[in-house]
Amino acid sequence: MPFTFFRFHRRFFRAGRQAIKVFMALSGLALAALPASAQVKSGAYRVMLKNLLSHTVPEIQVQEAARDSASIFFLDARETDEFEVSHLRGALHVGYDHFKPEVLKDVPKNRRIVVYCSVGYRSEKIAEKLLEAGYKNVSNLYGGIFEWVNQDHSVYDDKGRTARVHAYSRTWGVWLKKGKKVYGKQ
């Protein structure tokens, strides 16, 4: 009896190890299929974004947005003091707390628009409002300006290129790994 019991458990253990290998392989394939989140460089940041965002609007990877930036109309959904520290080249500041889609009344509804903020939460909400207002080609910059800077893309202020980035708060600033963090109004 003990020998049969041992043989059963050994076979069960091997099957369990095989199932774990299959699960890990499939998990890797699933992660590879995630279009935007798989491109965020930090694993911890990727997990945080996956849980923070609702994923209710199309998301664009930093790499794609940087590559296509000449044809994209960028909207900055951060507040004025954040925008003044730095922003993406050519971005229009629209804010978050007092955003009204009417500020874009002269922008064609089919124009390619990418909305961003620090990490993507506020910009996701603004992108939802734009889609509700009839804009057809709106995306959220996955990982926001933090991921943009973390991937070595330039940001600008009213004088030109800068290393400074408003980090929103010390809590959120942990996700900004590159650039010079700025807090508060400066």
**Distance (Å, rounded) from C-alpha 145 to C-alpha 91?**
12
Please give the C-alpha separations between residue 136 and each of 39, 40, 106, 120, in angstroms, as whole numbers: 24, 25, 15, 19
Out of 57, 117, 145, 167, pick the active-site residue. 117
Is the Cβ–Cβ distance between 56 and 126 less than 8 Å? no
Instruction: Give the per-residue pLDDT at 113.
Output: 98
Q: What is the dihedral of CA 91, 176, 179, 154, to 10 degrees?
A: -30
Instruction: Give the per-residue pLDDT at 185.
Output: 76
- Give the ranges where 34-42 is alpha helix by DSSP (H): none
**Distance (Å, rounded) from C-alpha 92 to C-alpha 83?**
9
Q: Model's pTM, two decimal places?
A: 0.79
**Distance (Å, rounded) from C-alpha 113 to C-alpha 22?**
40
In this prediction, the residues of the chain whose per-residue pLDDT falls under 50 are: 1, 3-17, 19-38
Residue 69: CB atoms within 10 A of its CB come to 14
Classified as helix, coil or strand, 97 is coil
Is the Cβ–Cβ distance between 65 and 115 less than 8 Å? no
Instruction: Give the per-residue pLDDT at 186.
Output: 64
Instruction: Give the per-residue pLDDT at 24.
Output: 44
Active site residue 109: no
